[in-house]
């Protein structure tokens, strides 16, 4: 560019010099310089016209031949166009590759613009949701009208996926996971989870049916064991010991079946079932009385502190009783005789808190992520001698999920444990 600029300056100076020389010869220097300037401007306009015609034609043609600054301009524009074509081809190759990859996915992929309207989708999404090419630019809510999806989409909290019936096939279940990107655009991944849903339903039905079927024969066995125990028949010590063990295991099996049935109901019934305002202090007073009776001769010091006596929670009273009772019962079972158990209810930041603290043996923090799993036990602090079923904290977790709550656990070996229920719904008084 600098070489072409130098050539162009020399050309202009030569033209002006020749015009000045001719003008001096004819004694019309000004007119000669003016004529030379017009000639140079005309040449410039002609070069601009050539550039414009070349740009309007097919860019694959080589640029017009020229010299000076215009030769450099033609060449630089041509090279710039070549680079743009190469970059465009590279970008198009990447786009084609991404489209081929997404087309091979079994999961549906949908791209929404900042307004929540359809921008692009892959063939799997078209198959699962029945999109057509004419649907581009329309709101996704026009095609997925399930109330849960509408709330999920508009609330903007996409930390967890949403599972709903398919809007196109009534026999299918679809899972939607939304991710934000770019300038408030959204990416939706749609997955067919029909088989997983059926397997989960089969598992729930199996547990519920087996639990109910076991209850009847277990009731008969327990009845005969109680009859033998209360009959006053003289039994030798070995038989008496065997009878006591059978009764103990029969009661433990009965508790296990009851917990399995409770857990099955929590999994299968719709969240929000039979919800109404529940006064928490009377509920906790009743649980404290039950815990005191369970403690019996072990003499635990069980205290209850309600900072807001009139505090109420919208929920299912039976489910809340089950969750709170499980926490307090666990504290009684795993706290040594004479230990302290503190129940506390309070509210802060428009949230309701209920905690159960004990000074039992505690456990290592590595167990905390697994405590709410079914039948999980901490080796040292939980054993069959406590009579637990291993389902208590799983029940607590499900109850809290159904009441917009969460469970926080803290523990230190040799110091004790604290279980805190946090309800995010605003309290009512």
Summarised one tens digit per residue, pLDDT across range 249-290 is 887 787 777 777 777 777 777 666 677 888 889 999 999 998
Q: What is the pLDDT of residue 55?
A: 76
- The helix-helix angle for 317-334 and 392-402 (nearest 10°) equals 150
Element (H, E) at 355: strand 351-358
* Residue-wise pLDDT tens digits, 334-392: 888 888 999 999 988 888 899 999 988 888 888 888 888 877 777 644 445 555 667 88
Provide long-range contacts, Cβ within 8 A and 24+ apart, for 206-215: 207/260, 207/263, 207/264, 208/260, 208/261, 208/264, 208/265, 208/268, 211/257, 211/260, 211/261, 211/264, 212/261, 214/253, 214/257, 215/254, 215/257, 215/261
pTM of the model: 0.57
Block residue for tokens 């969460």:
406
Give bridge partners of residue 162 from the DSSP assignment. 176
Residue bearing the bigger pLDDT, 190 or 20: 190
Average pLDDT of the chain, as a whole number: 82
* Cα separation, 2 vs 400, whole angstroms: 75
Confidence label for 5 from pLDDT (cuts 50, 70 and 90) = low
The two three-digit tokens of residue 277, written as one number? 């305002």
User: Coil, strand or helix: which one is 96?
Assistant: helix
* Cα separation, 415 vs 340, whole angstroms: 11
Residue 343 near residue 304, CB atoms below 8 Å? yes
Query: pLDDT at residue 420 above 90?
Result: yes
* Residue-wise pLDDT tens digits, 172-196: 899 999 999 988 899 999 999 888 8
Q: Running DSSP on this structure, what letter comes out for residue 117?
A: B
Q: What is the pLDDT of residue 272?
A: 63
Q: What is the pLDDT of residue 4?
A: 62
Give bridge partners of residue 418 from the DSSP assignment. 357, 410
Burial environment of residue 331 by CB neighbours within 10 A (0 to 12, 13 to 18, 19 or more): buried
Domains in the chain and their CATH numbers? 1-98 (no CATH), 105-195 (3.30.450.20), 198-267 (1.10.287), 276-424 (3.30.565.10)
Percent of the chain predicted with pLDDT > 70: 92
* Residue-wise pLDDT tens digits, 307-343: 877 888 888 888 899 889 989 988 888 888 888 999 9
Q: What is the pLDDT of residue 76?
A: 80
Length of the chain: 429
Q: What is the pLDDT of residue 381?
A: 44
Confidence label for 3 from pLDDT (cuts 50, 70 and 90) = low
Burial environment of residue 53 by CB neighbours within 10 A (0 to 12, 13 to 18, 19 or more): exposed
- Taking every pair of Cα atoms in the chain, the longest distance, rounded to a whole number of angstroms, is 153
* Residue-wise pLDDT tens digits, 37-93: 888 788 778 877 877 777 777 666 777 777 777 777 777 877 887 888 888 888 888
In angstroms, what CA-CA distances link 252 with 212, 220, 248? 16, 15, 6
Give bridge partners of residue 276 from the DSSP assignment. 315
User: Coil, strand or helix: which one is 81?
Assistant: helix
* Cα separation, 287 vs 320, whole angstroms: 11
* Cα separation, 320 vs 311, whole angstroms: 14
Q: What is the pLDDT of residue 40?
A: 78
The two three-digit tokens of residue 72, written as one number? 């450099």
């Amino acid at each position: 560019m600098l070489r072409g600029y130098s050539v162009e300056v020399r050309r202009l100076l030569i033209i002006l010099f020749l015009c000045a020389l001719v003008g001096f010869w004819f004694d019309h220097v000004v007119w000669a310089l003016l004529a030379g300037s017009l000639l140079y401007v005309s040449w410039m306009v002609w070069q601009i016209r050539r550039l414009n015609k070349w740009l309007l034609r097919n860019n694959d043609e080589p640029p017009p031949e020229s010299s000076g600054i215009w030769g450099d301009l033609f060449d630089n524009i041509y090279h710039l166009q070549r680079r743009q074509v190469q970059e465009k081809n590279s970008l198009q190759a990447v786009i084609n590759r991404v489209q081929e990859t997404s087309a091979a996915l079994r999961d549906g992929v949908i791209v929404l613009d900042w307004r929540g309207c359809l921008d692009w989708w892959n063939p799997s999404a078209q198959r699962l949701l029945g999109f057509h090419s004419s649907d581009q630019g329309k709101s996704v809510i026009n095609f997925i009208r399930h109330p849960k999806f509408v709330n999920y989409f508009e609330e903007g909290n996409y930390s967890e996926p949403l599972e709903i019936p398919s809007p196109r096939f009534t026999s299918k279940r679809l899972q939607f996971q939304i991710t934000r990107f770019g300038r408030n655009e959204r990416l939706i991944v749609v997955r067919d989870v029909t088989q997983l849903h059926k397997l989960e339903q089969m598992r729930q039905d199996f547990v519920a049916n087996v639990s109910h079927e076991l209850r009847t024969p277990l009731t008969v066995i327990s009845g005969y064991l109680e009859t033998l125990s209360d009959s006053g028949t003289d039994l030798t010590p070995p038989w008496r010991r065997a009878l006591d063990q059978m009764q103990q295991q029969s009661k433990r099996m009965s508790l296990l079946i009851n917990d399995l049935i409770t857990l099955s109901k929590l999994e299968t019934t719709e969240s929000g079932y039979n919800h109404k305002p529940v006064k928490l202090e009377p509920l906790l007073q009743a649980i404290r009385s039950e815990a005191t009776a369970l403690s019996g001769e072990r003499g635990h010091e069980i205290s209850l502190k309600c900072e807001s006596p009139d505090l109420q929670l919208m929920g299912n009273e039976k489910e809340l009783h089950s969750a709170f009772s499980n926490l307090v019962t666990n504290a009684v079972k795993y706290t040594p005789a004479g230990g302290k158990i503190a129940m506390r209810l309070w509210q802060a930041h428009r949230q309701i808190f209920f905690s159960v603290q004990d000074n039992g043996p505690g456990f290592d923090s590595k167990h905390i992520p697994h405590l709410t799993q079914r039948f999980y036990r901490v080796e040292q602090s939980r054993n069959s001698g406590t009579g637990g079923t291993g389902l208590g904290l799983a029940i607590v977790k499900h109850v809290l999920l159904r009441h917009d709550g969460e469970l926080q656990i803290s523990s230190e070996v040799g110091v004790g444990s604290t279980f805190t229920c946090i309800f995010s719904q605003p309290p009512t008084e």
